Structure formats: structure tokens, C-alpha cells
């Protein structure tokens, strides 16, 4: 007697329902991602535009561009408004940056970048911070540093964040040391400050957003604790890594490894 062909079995109802649920969750996640991107674009415009106006007009007032203000306190207050505006604008930019990095919505274009040129740009960008803290930036082997493969904007943002962090958490009048050397197919960049240092047990916590090295009730430095997390995510987005360790002479040692040319 000939055998009858086996009929294909339908998948269990539970499996069908699970597949439908997975598709619905995927569509919902995609919708939430798009809503988040739209929110970031809106925030970027709605916060930056008035902040730029506040900063610009406070600079005009502080410079007494259209005539004297009268009492000298007005000029001092205008300068406080300018500084606060810059601080708030920086915080807004950092929040947007870390949101984009966490969602991987930042395009990175890797290309050869000489560290000598990059650190020259960083030095220009942080000049006001160095002056305000009476600090000094010392770059070992300046003029003979290696070249890395990295995104130009991302690399400058990364090193600026790290050097600014070293300035803020180091002592007034201290020195921030930057060194770089090639190791096989990688370049190791080190940023060392002269601060009080950290406990090794605190290092994982410092890599989380909005965490800082001092107790939130007693800290004297300003900032939201976003510099190190942004730097870590930026390094990873460029195919590198970032680690923290206590510096040999005290303070914090930040090590970034990136692909070499």
C-alpha cells in the first residue's frame, strides 16, 4: 500500500503569537528611536538658539559696545551672564552628544589625523580654561607625535573633553601632561593630571554619565560628569578604547588607544 505524503504541520499557536509580538516590539522600538531623534533635533534648535542670543547680547553689554553702563557692577553681572550661558550651552551640547553616541546616530569618517595638528587645535580651544585655572598643558615630544586613524571632529572632541577634565580636577596652577606613542598597529595616548587621584574601586562609576569623582554634596568643581563617558563612547565609535587608572605620582591617568596609520 503506497505511503501518503506527510502534510506540513502548522507552527504552534504560541510560536505564531510570539513572532507577532516580536514584530510589534521591533516596530515600536523603531518608532521610539525616530521620536528620540526628532526630540534631539528639536532640543538642539530650541535650546541653542536662545542661549546663543543670551551669550551674544551679554558680550555686547559687557564690552559696553554702545556706551558706558554706569555702575561697574553692571559690566560684572553681564560677564557672569555670559559665563553662565557658555556653561549651560556646553551642558546642552554634552547631553545631545552622549544621547547620539549611545544611539549610534553619529557618523564617523575615519582618516589619518596627525596628533600634532589635533593637539594644536585642542590647545586653542581650551585656552580660556587654562588661563582661568592658571594651568599649563605640557605635550611630550611635541612636533613629533604619531598619526592615528580617527574621525577629525570626534578625535578633537575626545581629546578636548579629556584635557578639560584634567584641568578641572587638577589643582590650580597645575600641569596637564599629554603623551602619545605607537605600539604595533595602535597608538596609545595618555592624559595625566596632578589632582588628588581616585580609588581604583571608583573607576567603573566614573565611566557612567552624571557621575563625578567627588561627593555630590562637597565637590567644588563644576560640570555634570559627562566628559569621561562621552570620551569613552567616542573612542569606541572610532574603533578604539579608553581606560582609567591612578597616575604613578597621584592624580588620574586616562589612556586612549586608537588605530595607527
- Hey, where are the domains in the chain? 13-102, 111-259
Q: Tens digits of per-residue pLDDT, 162-207?
A: 998 899 888 889 999 999 999 999 999 999 998 877 777 777 777 7
pLDDT band of 24, cuts 50, 70, 90: confident
Span 119-158, pLDDT tens digits: 999 999 999 889 988 999 999 999 999 999 999 999 998 9
Q: Please state, as a whole number, how many other Cβ atoms lie within 10 Å of the Cβ of residue 127.
A: 11
CA dihedral 33, 39, 41, 43 (to 10 degrees): -150
pLDDT value of residue 216: 37
pLDDT digits (tens, 9 = 90+) for 211-256: 554 433 334 344 556 778 888 889 998 999 999 988 887 788 999 9
The model carries a pTM of 0.67
Q: Which helix (H) or strand (E) holds 235?
A: helix 227-237
**Angstrom distance (rounded) from CA 261 to CA 257:** 13
Residue 38: other Cβ atoms inside 10 A: 10
To the question of domain 111-259 being in CATH 3.40.50.10310, the answer is no
- Rounded CA-CA distance 186/88 in Å is 36
C-alpha 147, offset from chain centre: 21
Strand-pair category, 252-259 with 241-246: antiparallel
Amino acid at each position: 500500500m503506497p505511503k501518503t505524503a506527510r502534510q506540513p504541520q502548522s507552527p504552534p499557536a504560541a510560536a505564531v503569537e510570539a513572532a507577532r509580538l516580536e514584530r510589534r516590539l521591533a516596530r515600536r522600538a523603531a518608532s521610539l528611536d525616530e521620536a528620540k531623534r526628532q526630540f534631539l533635533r528639536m532640543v538642539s534648535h530650541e535650546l541653542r538658539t536662545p542661549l546663543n542670543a543670551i551669550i551674544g547680547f551679554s558680550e555686547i553689554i559687557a564690552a559696553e559696545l554702545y556706551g558706558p553702563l554706569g555702575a561697574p557692577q553692571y559690566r560684572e553681572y553681564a560677564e557672569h551672564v555670559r559665563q553662565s550661558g557658555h556653561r549651560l550651552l556646553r551642558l546642552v551640547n554634552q547631553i545631545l552628544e552622549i544621547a547620539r553616541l549611545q544611539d549610534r546616530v553619529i557618523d564617523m569618517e575615519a582618516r589619518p589625523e596627525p596628533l600634532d595638528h589635533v593637539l594644536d587645535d585642542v590647545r586653542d580651544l581650551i585656552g580660556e580654561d587654562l588661563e582661568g585655572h592658571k594651568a599649563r598643558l605640557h605635550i611630550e615630544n611635541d612636533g613629533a607625535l604619531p598619526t592615528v586613524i580617527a574621525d577629525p571632529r570626534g578625535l578633537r572632541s575626545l581629546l578636548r573633553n579629556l584635557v578639560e577634565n584634567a584641568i578641572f580636577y587638577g589643582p590650580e596652577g597645575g600641569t596637564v601632561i599629554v603623551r602619545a606613542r605607537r605600539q604595533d598597529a595602535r597608538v596609545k595616548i595618555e592624559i595625566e593630571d596632578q589632582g588628588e587621584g581616585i580609588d581604583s574601586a571608583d573607576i567603573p562609576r566614573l565611566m557612567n554619565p552624571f557621575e563625578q569623582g567627588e561627593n555630590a554634596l562637597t565637590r567644588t568643581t563644576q560640570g555634570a560628569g559627562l566628559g569621561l563617558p562621552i570620551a569613552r563612547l567616542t573612542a569606541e565609535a572610532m574603533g578604539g578604547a579608553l581606560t582609567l587608572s591612578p597616575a604613578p605620582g597621584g592624580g588620574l591617568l586616562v589612556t586612549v588607544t586608537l588605530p595607527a596609520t
